[in-house]
Structure 1
Amino acid sequence: MQYHPGQLAQVSGQYAVIDTLGRNTGYEVTVVRGEPFPPTSAPGYTFVLVDATKHRR
């Protein structure tokens, strides 16, 4: 699932920044569940979850 800047994250974790052609830009951001995704450096870029945060109890 792809997320857009400003959308709220459904899962905490590391998200890859994806360009308008669907390629990984090599950048990742950490986003916490319920927080909005940050702005990107170019219009049309999106985010894809690459590593969900693992919680220990």
Structure 2
Amino acid sequence: MSSSPLKPGQTAGRSGQYEIVGPRGGSTGQERTVTRGEPLPPTPKPGQGYVLVDPTRNGAGRGK
């Protein structure tokens, strides 16, 4: 991984699918869809975090 996982409650820097990872970075197989600027939701267990795995590519806000 290139950076440390984001914590629940932190603001999402990009819209997309965020995977829930364990305290040591292991995959849980669960993902949440989060919109840029919104806080990340609570995780099922303490110590877990989020990693962006699939950013949204919709071109919103780019003008023509």
Higher relative contact order (CA 8 A, sep 6+): 1
- C-alpha deviation, 1:42, in angstroms: 0.9
Structure 1 runs, 4 residues or longer, greater than 2 Å off: none
Q: Matches of 1:41 and 1:54 in 2, distance apart?
A: 28
Q: Matches of 2:41 and 2:55 in 1, distance apart?
A: 17
Runs of 5+ consecutive residues of structure 2 not aligned to the other structure: none
Q: Which structure: larger Rg? A: 2
- Normalising by structure 1, we get a TM-score of 0.92
Give the number of the structure whose residues are more often strand, by fraction.
Answer: 1
Name 2:9's counterpart in structure 1: 6
RMSD, aligned CA: 1.2
- C-alpha deviation, 1:21, in angstroms: 2.1
Identity of aligned residues (%): 49
- Normalising by structure 2, we get a TM-score of 0.82
Runs of 5+ consecutive residues of structure 1 not aligned to the other structure: none
Q: Matches of 1:21 and 1:4 in 2, distance apart?
A: 13
